[in-house]
Amino acid sequence: MGGVSRNRQRWQSAMVYGAIALCCVLGGWVWSGLGISGLADRGGDSLAQATEPLPALLSQLPPPQVHPLPTCLQQWRDRPAAQSGLVSPRNGAGDDFDPDSFGSDYFDQIEPSIVGHLIWSQFPITVALAPTPPRAAAWRKAVTQAIADWQPYLSLQLLDAGDSTPADITIALGNPTLRNAAGLPRAANARTTYEFYWDLRGDRPRLAHRFTMLLRGDRAFAQLLGTARHELGHALGIWGHSPNPQDALYAAAVANPPPISDRDLNTLVKVYEQPTRLGWSLNSYQIPN
């Protein structure tokens, strides 16, 4: 046991020194050796674009590999043809709106991170709601409903209040601000960020990620639900936006936020079929028994 502990300490120390050596900011992305973070928002800006990482850093990470497709997504992909092609409401689209012009998915709009697509491979995905005042009951209800909406497609577990277990996704009530092209702050409906870290709970370090979502609470319930559903889509792996207002991951807020669409789910399936470095262990480092 002492050898295991010393090896863990050496590994953690190495990562900390790597953080000091590699810490820099690249166009909105933060590299730190222990963490690399990205940003999405619900205020209309495009998602952050990553600058190519240092080859030396990537060479220390697990190689990209494909994880088995989660059971629920496999069932969605293989569903009978009669159950596909469901049409969502127009959500304010004009009479000339043609949903067929958007195709069956928008995978071409999804940006992989610098270590690959943001795929979860350990289930259930744990979600924690930060403490809120009593007046935020509608906010909590909307967020809880959004979690339930995604639950049939990826296994999610909402942690009990007071649970000290670190969550994969943490959702907090707040007033997110972002910066426009001129560098000036502006209000946003939501802000979703992620970071990468080494999960040391197994025999070998595993490259993992976690998300933090900050959502406004001063909106009508339908807008709260739509925003929470949209941001959870980002946190579950859809790191991009749909050009179709009938999709939950549409780039802008709409008067009547749509439910999760076939196109959202088809896109999610394609994301989870891609190789990624996330979720894989470092084969070159083995903690002895």
CA distance 207 to 277: 7
Q: Name every residue whose Cβ is closer than 8 Å to that of residue 49 and which is 6 or more positions away in sequence.
A: 27, 28, 111
Q: Could you tell me the pLDDT band of residue 88, with boundaries at 50, 70 and 90?
A: very low
Side-chain-side CA neighbours of 186 within 13 Å: the count stands at 13
CA distance 244 to 251: 8
Report the run of H or E that residue 29 belongs to, with start and end: strand 29-31
pLDDT tens digits, one per residue of 119-161: 999 999 999 999 999 999 999 999 999 999 999 999 999 999 8
Whole-number percent of the chain with pLDDT over 70: 68
Output the pLDDT for position 56: 67
Output the pLDDT for position 8: 47
Residue 190, classed as helix, strand or coil, is strand
CA distance 94 to 169: 36
Q: Which CATH architecture has domain 2-83+102-276?
A: 3-Layer(aba) Sandwich (3.40)
Whose tokens are 């992305």? That residue is 29
Distances (CA, A) of 114 to 38, 140, 224: 10, 33, 30
Whose tokens are 């980002």? That residue is 234
**pLDDT over 50 (residue 81):** yes
Q: Could you tell me the pLDDT band of residue 32, with boundaries at 50, 70 and 90?
A: very low
Residue 48 tokens, joined:
């952050």
**pLDDT over 80 (residue 24):** no
CA distance 239 to 193: 11
The domain locations on the chain are 2-83+102-276
Residue 157 tokens, joined:
């577990």
pLDDT tens digits, one per residue of 94-117: 444 444 555 899 999 999 999 999
CA distance 129 to 120: 19
Report the run of H or E that residue 41 belongs to, with start and end: strand 36-41
Q: Name every residue whose Cβ is closer than 8 Å to that of residue 83 and which is 6 or more positions away in sequence.
A: none
Distances (CA, A) of 233 to 56, 107, 249: 32, 13, 7
Beta bridge partners of 127: 158, 169
Output the pLDDT for position 284: 55
Q: How buried is residue 283: exposed, middle or buried, by Cβ count under 10 Å (0-12/13-18/19+)?
A: exposed
Residue 56 tokens, joined:
């030396």
Strands 169-173 and 206-215: parallel
Angle at CA 90, nearest 5°, toward 177 and 112?
Answer: 50
User: Is cis: bond before 63, omega within 30 of 0?
Assistant: no
